[in-house]
Chains A and B, each alone.
Chain A
Amino acid sequence: MTTHVDPMTADELARHANPLDDAGCGTLDTARGNLPLDELDLRAGIAGLATDMELTQGFHNPYDEPLEATYIFPLPDRAAVTRLRMTAGDRVVEGVLKERGAARADYDQALEAGQRASIAEEERPGVFTMRVGNILPGERVTIALTLAGRLPFEDGEATFRFPLVVAPRYIPGSVLLGGSVGDGVSPDTDAVPDASRISPPVLLPNFPNPVRLSVSVDIDPAGLPLGRVSSSLHVTTVDTANDRCLVSLAVGDRVNRDFVLRLRLGADDAVASSLAVVPDEEGGTFACTVLPPAIAVPDRPRDVVLVLDRSGSMDGWKMVAARRAAARIVDTFGSADRFAVLAFDHGVESPPGLPGALVAGTDRNRFRAIEHLAGLTARGGTEMLTPLRQAAALLSVSGARESVIVLVTDGQVGNEDQILQSLAPVVTGIRIHTVGIDTAVNKAFLQRLAGLGGGRCELVESEDRLDEAMRHIHRRIGRPLVTDLRLVADGLSVDTSTIAPAVLLDLYPGAPVVITGRYRGVPSGGVTVTGRAADADWRTSAVASPSDHHGLRAVWARAHVRDLEDRYVTASFGDHDALERRIVAVSLEFGVLCRFTAFVAVDDRVVNAGGTLHRVTQPVELPQGWQMPAAPQAAVFAAMSAASPPMPMPTGKARSRRTAGAMADAPLGAIIPALPVTLHAFARQALDRLRAAVDQPLADRIRLLVELGAELVAVLDRVPGLPQETLTRLRELAARLSGPPVDVDSEWQAAIDLLEPLAGQSTRRGRPFWKR
């Protein structure tokens, strides 16, 4: 009944784009980097708001010794990992979920015995480590992970977000003596005792793409009015029968950012208040969706502390976006509000002329703050806890006023647990909203932090997305519609100790709240949700209706275990051992991976009796839009490599710095700081690249066209004063190049024809360049 269109074209393209396969088994091809991980394949199915995912990681051994590969990788932080399968040679081994210590012992023992084995461990929400041991030279082992999730729905939009890379994180604290517990590059510290487990090595920018990435998402709206689908990667969309569509990756993208798919669902009310129940042997799981009521709440004067991350990792478009976001927030203050602005790196600064205390939101004060924000550049470390504690201290005197912290950051810190643990006792009564800006944002942390303070988390993965996100933030800062939500059984026998999230979020305009939990017996009756709205009682009820969301059980279990894990971290007293036992019990009973358990798979054949093992930690891409961390080049390299040409990396950095500086004056700011600043310069550079690539394989040429299309859009956005006709022509070209390839040769020629006159190299004189 439903025709699936297999994304063969995309796969083929990707394979051509990355000829690693052609090297054949065991070939020592040093030019390609020889890394263990060579393939990532994501297959996802979306039905309504329910989603099932399977991620396959392909590891090969290009060395001439048996290999243990370690890969530090991200997964969606709220999804439940429910299954691991290892395929080695002709055998598929099913992973077993065990208490983490026991799983690790199994794995070590298998390696010692010369057996192939793999283990998946969760380091923190969203960050995992995969180890695959005893891969023989030339051999390939694949690991398939199965996940269940539920798409968040806000402002008429459902978002499917799959992170692909763990970004470098700032690691505070002093180094622990006596070694590290992981295979990453940062040593463990007292503030981040597992820093070595979340810090993969980083590939330099011009490293050939080592990983073949393929993605396909089968979307079944299941009755929801599916509208526009937009994506952060270059995808093609094929409509199939029954309103379904299949989204797949157009070309072999690099594994350097979150894959974000936004599904427009007609209207804000596309999702209704409901109580979905999924029965199983011991009762069942429920998901209660509560819509924000269409009421207005009176404005209350607010005290807002805006905390802005200006650390080094914010360099580039992120700092530009963060400054704009912060300025927009400051602009929303009225004279009855009070505010303070704290910008931090390793220290904390306030705008000159404004004391580091709350001031009235007058024109004069707002102007001073915005002026200060406009001049901020990225630098230094990310000591995030100090400004947050300072913000909490400022707000401790707020009394009856609505007190709010807004944190604008990429969230790239390793001491999440330390921050949550230290803030929990001091933020009672304070709302924390987080605005995450990055192509590979630390969503898990920003969401936990917002959850701690009953606020919302908005994510911005590109400058284009900023304006839309700011509209939502504006609507929400400090003004929840309904607070103090409680779920009360009303016929359905709800097990109240299982309600997740444990602390219910408040209802904000456009943002429904979903409450999950377990019930006993038969699914009859319903629940009532009560709360306070505009100083009056508020309530809504829903009656149970059966759902076929079979993954809900796992999604609830993951959320419930996450609550318990957060309590483990933030509770300063109590029986932590008992809490740990409970976490392990729930994790094992419901079969979802957590911090205290691990999936281990052991193939009982002995393949490496000799026991030698070469260990490699997979290096990963630097997230898109990041500047390479400062390399202490000058003295050493100048001395050491007189014979070598200048390093591309530091010069590249210097160039982008200059560009970024020049861009600070431009009203639109820099989207990609390394881009040329004039259309002329862009055209010349683009032509050079086209000419250089004319004999490249088809897939490489397609990729170049797509890149040029995206860059052209960025350039057009910030080059003022172009004639309308030129602009239209160029925008059409950009759209044509960015879209799915139709006729590569004619697109290639069209690009050259349009760019040549702009570069001032046209041989055809006297004709407007758009008239071919």
Chain B
Amino acid sequence: MAPDELWTIDELSALVADNLVVDYPGPPNGRARVVPDQRTIRWYTTIGLLDRPTAMRGRTALYDRRHLLQLVAIKRLQADGHTLADVQQQLVGATDPVLTDIARLSTESLPAESPGGGGATAPAPLPRDRFWAARPAPPTSALVHGVRLADGVTVMLATARVPTRDDVAAIEEAAGPLLDVLRRRGLNPEGNAHDNAR
């Protein structure tokens, strides 16, 4: 057993499914989605049912044994008819032995010990020492607006304001000369080889 085994969400998903198969009183069709999607994961984290991911590999979140215990425990309690508030009362802050108990798992059935074992993980060294002295990054807007001038020619605007119909009309009018240049140079806006040949 690797003490530092970490899983992606898909791997975790499969493990949860494996561990629920035994005496799981859930939907009998067996094809039910047993593991929540990203949004549900985030929601569980928000209400303290699930710890944050143990680590990130690039943009991929990685989970460990405690997450597996938490998810199986959530599912068990829900299958037993508990409301989410009940589930929260029982699981928030629960120790690993308590989670194991609620999840009805035996230590042998689990694939790996969590790093350090038993919820007693020492905190990893801080990723950014002296974070309190850090100044925030200047803002970059993730949102851009696009105005399609012709097939294959779109102007991207990093402005905050959504262009109005008037704006679009004005931009289209001003774009005429640009489209002409593109056409003359064979850069193919709104057209095909026939147009260029003409």
Q: How far is the CA of A648 from the CA of B26 in the complex (A)?
A: 19
Of chain B, the residue at the smallest CB distance from A644 is B81
Q: Does A101 contact B (CB under 8 A)?
A: yes
Tell me which of B26, B52, B93 contacts A36 (CB under 8 A): B93
Whether B134 contacts A636 by the Cβ 8 Å rule is no
Instruction: Please indicate the chain A residues that have their CB under 8 angstroms from the CB of B173 in the complex.
Output: none
Q: Does B178 contact A (CB under 8 A)?
A: no
A205 and B25 contact, Cβ closer than 8 Å, known pairs A192-B136, A636-B37, A644-B79: no
Whether B134 contacts A193 by the Cβ 8 Å rule is yes
Q: Does B152 contact A (CB under 8 A)?
A: no
Q: How far is the CA of A197 from the CA of B131 in the complex (A)?
A: 10
Interface string of B26-57 (1 = CB under 8 A from A): 11000011101101100101111000100110
Interface string of A628-658 (1 = CB under 8 A from B): 0101100111011111110111000000000
Of chain B, the residue at the smallest CB distance from A34 is B93
Instruction: Please indicate the chain A residues that have their CB under 8 angstroms from the CB of B46 in the complex.
Output: 168, 185, 201-202, 629
Q: Does B161 contact A (CB under 8 A)?
A: yes
Instruction: Please indicate the chain A residues that have their CB under 8 angstroms from the CB of B118 in the complex.
Output: 65, 612
Whether B93 contacts A204 by the Cβ 8 Å rule is no
Q: How far is the CA of A613 from the CA of B123 in the complex (A)?
A: 10
Whether A640 contacts B135 by the Cβ 8 Å rule is no
Least CB distance, A266 to chain B, in whole angstroms: 44
Instruction: Please indicate the chain B residues that have their CB under 8 angstroms from the CB of A31 in the complex.
Output: 89
Q: Does B78 contact A (CB under 8 A)?
A: yes
Instruction: Please indicate the chain A residues that have their CB under 8 angstroms from the CB of B32 in the complex.
Output: 639-640
Tell me which of A33, A100, A181, A639 contacts B128 (CB under 8 A): A181
Whether A64 contacts B47 by the Cβ 8 Å rule is no
In the complex, how many residue pairs between chain A and chain B have their CB atoms under 8 Å apart?
Answer: 213
Instruction: Please indicate the chain B residues that have their CB under 8 angstroms from the CB of A56 in the complex.
Output: none
Q: How far is the CA of A647 from the CA of B138 in the complex (A)?
A: 42
Instruction: Please indicate the chain A residues that have their CB under 8 angstroms from the CB of B80 in the complex.
Output: 643-644
A613 and B120 contact, Cβ closer than 8 Å, known pairs A190-B137, A632-B40, A641-B79: yes
Least CB distance, A759 to chain B, in whole angstroms: 28
Least CB distance, B74 to chain A, in whole angstroms: 9
Whether A207 contacts B88 by the Cβ 8 Å rule is yes
Q: How far is the CA of A190 from the CA of B27 in the complex (A)?
A: 42
Of chain A, the residue at the smallest CB distance from B92 is A619
Q: Does B106 contact A (CB under 8 A)?
A: no
Q: Does B127 contact A (CB under 8 A)?
A: yes
Q: Does A94 contact B (CB under 8 A)?
A: no
Of chain A, the residue at the smallest CB distance from B134 is A193
Instruction: Please indicate the chain A residues that have their CB under 8 angstroms from the CB of B171 in the complex.
Output: none
Q: Does B82 contact A (CB under 8 A)?
A: yes
Least CB distance, A595 to chain B, in whole angstroms: 6
Instruction: Please indicate the chain B residues that have their CB under 8 angstroms from the CB of A194 in the complex.
Output: 131-132, 134
Whether A645 contacts B52 by the Cβ 8 Å rule is no
Instruction: Please indicate the chain A residues that have their CB under 8 angstroms from the CB of B185 in the complex.
Output: none
Whether B81 contacts A639 by the Cβ 8 Å rule is no
Instruction: Please indicate the chain B residues that have their CB under 8 angstroms from the CB of A619 in the complex.
Output: 47-48, 88, 92
Q: How large is the interface on A (under 10, 10 to 19, 20 to 34, 35 or more residues)?
A: 35 or more
Tell me which of B56, B95, B135, B138 contacts A65 (CB under 8 A): B95
Least CB distance, A70 to chain B, in whole angstroms: 11
Q: How far is the CA of A35 from the CA of B89 in the complex (A)?
A: 9
Q: Does B84 contact A (CB under 8 A)?
A: yes
Instruction: Please indicate the chain B residues that have their CB under 8 angstroms from the CB of A349 in the complex.
Output: 162
Whether B83 contacts A644 by the Cβ 8 Å rule is yes
Q: How far is the CA of A279 from the CA of B127 in the complex (A)?
A: 45
Whether A205 contacts B85 by the Cβ 8 Å rule is yes
Q: How far is the CA of A485 from the CA of B133 in the complex (A)?
A: 32
Instruction: Please indicate the chain A residues that have their CB under 8 angstroms from the CB of B36 in the complex.
Output: 632, 636
Q: Does B194 contact A (CB under 8 A)?
A: no
Whether B137 contacts A347 by the Cβ 8 Å rule is no
Whether B136 contacts A643 by the Cβ 8 Å rule is no
Q: Does B160 contact A (CB under 8 A)?
A: yes
Q: Does B59 contact A (CB under 8 A)?
A: yes
Q: How far is the CA of A632 from the CA of B47 in the complex (A)?
A: 13
A177 and B79 contact, Cβ closer than 8 Å, known pairs A191-B136, A421-B136, A632-B40: no
Of chain A, the residue at the smallest CB distance from B89 is A33
Of chain A, the residue at the smallest CB distance from B27 is A642
Q: How far is the CA of A645 from the CA of B26 in the complex (A)?
A: 13
Q: Does B65 contact A (CB under 8 A)?
A: no
Instruction: Please indicate the chain A residues that have their CB under 8 angstroms from the CB of B79 in the complex.
Output: 640-641, 643-644
Q: How far is the CA of A611 from the CA of B116 in the complex (A)?
A: 11
Within 8 A of B (CB), among A154-189: 168, 172-181, 185, 187-188
Whether B95 contacts A640 by the Cβ 8 Å rule is no
Q: Does B193 contact A (CB under 8 A)?
A: no
Instruction: Please indicate the chain B residues that have their CB under 8 angstroms from the CB of A35 in the complex.
Output: 92-93
Tell me which of B92, B127, B141 contacts A179 (CB under 8 A): B127
Least CB distance, A130 to chain B, in whole angstroms: 16
Number of interface residues of B (CB under 8 A): 67
Q: How far is the CA of A100 from the CA of B33 in the complex (A)?
A: 47
Q: How far is the CA of A100 from the CA of B130 in the complex (A)?
A: 9
Instruction: Please indicate the chain A residues that have their CB under 8 angstroms from the CB of B22 in the complex.
Output: none
Q: Does A262 contact B (CB under 8 A)?
A: no
Q: How far is the CA of A204 from the CA of B128 in the complex (A)?
A: 32
Whether A30 contacts B131 by the Cβ 8 Å rule is no
Q: Does A230 contact B (CB under 8 A)?
A: no
A207 and B85 contact, Cβ closer than 8 Å, known pairs A202-B48, A596-B133, A641-B79: yes
Q: Does A731 contact B (CB under 8 A)?
A: no
Whether B136 contacts A418 by the Cβ 8 Å rule is yes
Whether B85 contacts A204 by the Cβ 8 Å rule is yes
Whether A179 contacts B143 by the Cβ 8 Å rule is no
Tell me which of B95, B128, B130, B164 contacts A63 (CB under 8 A): B95
Whether B26 contacts A640 by the Cβ 8 Å rule is yes
Instruction: Please indicate the chain B residues that have their CB under 8 angstroms from the CB of A179 in the complex.
Output: 55-56, 124, 127
Q: How far is the CA of A640 from the CA of B166 in the complex (A)?
A: 50
Tell me which of B45, B120, B137 contacts A614 (CB under 8 A): B120
Q: Does A274 contact B (CB under 8 A)?
A: no
Whether A617 contacts B48 by the Cβ 8 Å rule is yes
A173 and B132 contact, Cβ closer than 8 Å, known pairs A640-B78, A642-B26: no
Q: Does B1 contact A (CB under 8 A)?
A: no
Q: Does A387 contact B (CB under 8 A)?
A: yes
Q: How far is the CA of A196 from the CA of B56 in the complex (A)?
A: 15
Q: How far is the CA of A619 from the CA of B87 in the complex (A)?
A: 14
Q: How far is the CA of A346 from the CA of B94 in the complex (A)?
A: 36
Interface string of B85-126 (1 = CB under 8 A from A): 100111011110110000000000000000000111111101
A30 and B27 contact, Cβ closer than 8 Å, known pairs A191-B136, A347-B162, A643-B80: no
Q: Does A616 contact B (CB under 8 A)?
A: yes
Q: Does A417 contact B (CB under 8 A)?
A: yes
Instruction: Please indicate the chain A residues that have their CB under 8 angstroms from the CB of B83 in the complex.
Output: 206, 644-645, 647-649
Instruction: Please indicate the chain B residues that have their CB under 8 angstroms from the CB of A33 in the complex.
Output: 88-89, 92
Least CB distance, A202 to chain B, in whole angstroms: 6
Whether A632 contacts B37 by the Cβ 8 Å rule is yes
Tell me which of A203, A611, A612 contacts B88 (CB under 8 A): A203
Whether B43 contacts A631 by the Cβ 8 Å rule is yes
Interchain Cβ contacts under 8 Å between A and B, 30 examples: A65-B119, A174-B142, A175-B59, A179-B56, A181-B127, A181-B131, A191-B136, A193-B128, A194-B131, A194-B132, A201-B47, A203-B47, A205-B85, A417-B136, A418-B137, A421-B135, A617-B48, A631-B84, A632-B36, A632-B40, A635-B33, A636-B37, A639-B32, A640-B27, A640-B78, A641-B78, A642-B26, A644-B79, A647-B83, A648-B83
Q: What are the 10 closest A-B residue pairs judged by CB atoms, nearest first?
A: A201-B48, A386-B160, A632-B39, A612-B120, A418-B136, A616-B93, A190-B137, A179-B127, A639-B32, A641-B78
Binding site for B on A (CB under 8 A): 30-36, 63-65, 100-101, 121, 123, 168, 172-181, 185, 187-188, 190-194, 196-197, 201-208, 346-350, 355-356, 383, 385-387, 389-390, 415, 417-418, 421-422, 568-569, 576, 580, 595-596, 611-617, 619, 629, 631-632, 635-637, 639-645, 647-649
Further contacts, 13 of them, CB under 8 A, given A168-B46, A613-B120: A31-B89, A197-B131, A201-B92, A350-B161, A415-B136, A417-B136, A421-B136, A629-B46, A635-B33, A640-B32, A640-B78, A642-B27, A649-B84
